[in-house]
Amino acid sequence: MRHFNVTGLCTPDKDYMVDISDKIQKIRGMVDMEEYFTINRARQYGKTTTLQALKKNLNMDYIVSRISFEGIGGTIFSDEAKFCLGFDELFGKSLRFSSASSEDMKQWNRYPKDTDSFLRLSEKITDFCMNRKIVLLIDEVDQASDNRVFLHFLGMLREKYLARKANEDFTFFSVILAGVYDIKNMKLHMIERGYHSTPQGEVKYNSPWNIAANFDIDMSFSASEIESMLSEYETDHRTGMDIPRTASLLWDYTNGYPFLVSRICQEIDETGLAWDCSGIQMAVKNILLEKNTLFDDISHHLENNTELRTFMYELLILGQEKPFERTNGTVDLAATFGFIRNDNGKSVIDNRMFEIKIANYFISRNQEDKKHLKITGVLSEDVIQDGHFCMEYVLETFSHHYEELYENIKNRKFLEENGRILFLTYLRPLINGKGFYHIESRTNTERRMDLIVDYGTEQYILELKRWYGTKKHEDAYEQLFGYLESMHAEKGYLLTFDFRRQKKPRMEWITYQGKQIFDLIM
């Protein structure tokens, strides 16, 4: 019986899979054009599964060699001879699982111990590719990202590629590398980390992979692609789910991030949750509380890179606008790790689950850094009134808490910079266990931030902003009204931080174009 798989390679006969045939055809088109390229996407983005599906697609017309640098140890990268002999062995083994004939394999294995240099390996590749269309797929190339010998291997492939275009060599028809990092920038990355020095006369920015074509195929799952997987599951289990609605909800939380889509489905299937909005919300809540390699990576990258941590804090918590410009090293790194995506030239958090996880990371840091502050004396049961979560009460009690902090803390700049994180820190324990929130940054000059709280079957929409005058505040009503309309909600909450502190906090319910808005100015 098939199941949802989130570890390693997925296969159609054992796992429920999204139909990625359209993506495979697009990648196939690049292969047919004899292009060399890198599939660089964030961790657990389905790269290995994609390579396997691509290999199956290409097998009828090409000899496809698929090798991986995962689990082979570091000895192979210690020097030129070991690498060349190791590649020779890996390539020869891969031919046994390709469409290569016995004669093809005999041809490659004629001189098994004679490729102890790049010159000899290059000659062997020339002979083997003379009358054959060979596609080389290398997975997990990040395992070699700190090894100079791999740069020389890429340089050899580049020189052979260029020589072929000049009709002066034979080489692989197409080469595809798969990993997290952009191999084009590997050389500069190694120089900056001290793993590679530039000999006199060598150009520092001359990438050994500058021949590669840009790979801009969207690897995330669309809602319609998610439907294809749910349809297969529904055929087997007859749950009665609304497939388009369920697929849309899965996409809303994940933005099609492959691991997250499959993990939510796995959680629903294995724990017996309903295939509806409440079931998906519960699955998301459970997953956000677990420890897995993807979430470990998020914490690790934020903890170990101060510039990246600052960038994500300013983007997510402070609501600052950040252009999506990958020539900026920090932006490029955030995009490489899958934290952000391009939204009309602006950087936005890639998906809701990352928003929650990264916000929780900063809340935890805030709690550790500010242990001397009494964050809240309110209990989670205090905010339940008539069986409903009372957001009005939460905001009212937070205003008192904030007022107390303002009177007692001498460093007012701290409050200006941390007002939002203080509110999230205050809110989190009140909804923990029964709900969660996600942040939707709508960055502009007013630094807006929309906060959506899901508690049980109810949803609460808040807008957090800074005070920029009466006219701007009135404009905020219109902005919140528009958002409430789009969410089909009848009431919302506007929390405004007024750092002039000329008045005490003011709160009231107002009616704006038929919508109820709880307006709190602090």
- Give the DSSP H or E segment for 472: helix 470-486
β-pairing verdict for 174-179 and 435-442: unpaired
How far is the C-alpha of 337 from the C-alpha of 226, rounded, in Å? Answer: 23
Q: How many CA atoms lie within 13 A of 118 on its CB side?
A: 14
How far is the C-alpha of 359 from the C-alpha of 362, rounded, in Å? Answer: 5
pLDDT for the residue numbered 414:
61
Is the Cβ–Cβ distance between 255 and 341 less than 8 Å?
Answer: yes
How far is the C-alpha of 75 from the C-alpha of 387, rounded, in Å? Answer: 63
How far is the C-alpha of 333 from the C-alpha of 189, rounded, in Å? Answer: 11
How far is the C-alpha of 467 from the C-alpha of 477, rounded, in Å? Answer: 13
3-state DSSP helix/strand/coil % of the chain, to nearest 5: 50, 15, 35
Torsion of CA 105, 106, 110, 113, to 10 degrees: 40
332 alpha-carbon distance from chain centroid: 12
How far is the C-alpha of 248 from the C-alpha of 267, rounded, in Å? Answer: 17
Question: How much is the pTM?
Answer: 0.85
Which phi-psi region, left, alpha or beta, contains residue 503 (left: φ > 0; alpha: ψ -120 to 50)? Answer: beta
Q: Is 94 exposed, middle or buried (0-12, 13-18, 19+ CB in 10 A)?
A: buried
In this structure, what token pair is assigned to residue 25? 């055809």
Site of tokens 């007012």:
412
Three-state DSSP class for 178? strand
Domain ranges of the chain: 21-192, 223-290, 370-522
How far is the C-alpha of 116 from the C-alpha of 93, rounded, in Å? Answer: 17
pLDDT for the residue numbered 364:
84
β-pairing verdict for 388-389 and 384-385: antiparallel
The answer for residues whose C-beta is within 8 angstroms of residue 454's C-beta and 6 or more apart is 281, 435, 436, 437, 438
Three-state DSSP class for 492? strand
pLDDT for the residue numbered 446:
44
Nearest Cα neighbor of 20 from 222, 178, 177, 179 is: 222
Q: Which CATH topology does 21-192 take?
A: Rossmann fold (3.40.50)
pLDDT for the residue numbered 327:
87
Q: At what angle do helices 47-58 and 21-32 cross, to 10 degrees?
A: 60
Q: Is 407 exposed, middle or buried (0-12, 13-18, 19+ CB in 10 A)?
A: exposed
- Identify the DSSP state of 248: H
The one-digit pLDDT tens for each residue of the chain (522 residues) are: 899 999 888 999 999 999 999 999 999 999 999 999 999 999 999 999 999 999 999 999 999 999 998 888 888 888 999 999 999 999 999 999 999 999 999 999 887 678 999 999 999 999 999 999 999 999 988 877 667 888 889 999 999 999 999 999 999 999 999 998 877 655 545 554 555 455 555 544 456 788 999 999 999 999 999 999 999 999 999 999 999 999 999 999 999 999 999 999 999 999 999 999 889 988 998 999 899 999 999 999 999 899 999 999 988 887 788 999 998 989 999 999 999 999 999 999 999 999 989 988 998 887 665 554 455 556 667 788 887 889 999 999 888 877 776 666 555 566 666 777 888 888 888 886 677 787 765 544 444 567 888 887 788 999 988 888 889 999 999 989 988 988 889 999 999 988 776 667 889 999 999 999 999 998
In this structure, what token pair is assigned to residue 257? 């991030």
pLDDT for the residue numbered 193:
52
Three-state DSSP class for 498? coil
pLDDT for the residue numbered 493:
96
